Homo-oligomer: A and B are copies of this chain.
């Protein structure tokens, strides 16, 4: 184990998760990237000198196991970036119980389980970060977000509870409300009309570095041309 602080990114795909991992690695964290399929993140992990760990965020035991692996291989967790989110969309008629459960587990329950896993490390260190990727849906439910918004609302509420409990212990819980589409690698839409993953990551990094006298709990990020 090195002396570097350990950052775990849960929910890593080619978009925001990768950008978060690269940004925190570049700034000195030792980064573990978690994804359901570890094959898809191994190249990234190698590239940033990090660790790829399989993790199904809907499976509580799998989450616990994944964090045990991180602690064993890299040491205590300093920063947790929860970037998991379900993509179940549809109204009451279209969504089923499984869709509701998926939204709940990936957004809220899994985060709860992961928070339990890392809070001991952070308390021992007297510091830490827990930055969560939220969504505008957390602030209001629409017909097509019957499942997704419910999960995101539960997530936002959970983050508020965690922040109010853990901030005084030096653990910075924060919520980045993503409002708009995240730019995929292969689009030809004009720049600045979609959220660039690296730009979101820069703001997440700012949160992780705020001094304790002036912490932010919640902020939103959106393209300057977005309608809101």
Binding site for B on A (CB under 8 A): 60, 91-93, 95, 97, 100-101, 104, 108-109, 112-113, 115-116, 119, 137-138, 140-143, 145-146, 149-162, 164-168, 170, 172, 183, 191-196, 199-200, 202-203, 206, 210-226, 228
Contact = CB atoms under 8 A, between A and B. Distances in A.
A210 B145 CA distance: 27
Contacts of A202: 210-211, 214
B219 A199 contact: no
Contact of A92 (B142, B165, B196): B165
A213 to B, nearest CB: 4
Contact of A214 (B95, B166, B196, B228): B196
Contacts of A215: 221-224
Nearest to A155: B150
A216 B203 contact: yes
Contact of A206 (B156, B206, B217): B206
A192 B183 CA distance: 38
Contacts of A97: 60, 109, 112-113
A223 to B, nearest CB: 5
Contacts of A228: 164, 217
A164 B152 contact: no
B112 A141 contact: no
A112 B92 CA distance: 8
B152 A157 contact: yes
Contacts of A101: 109
A221 B211 CA distance: 10
A210 B1 CA distance: 34
Nearest to A166: B92
A16 to B, nearest CB: 10
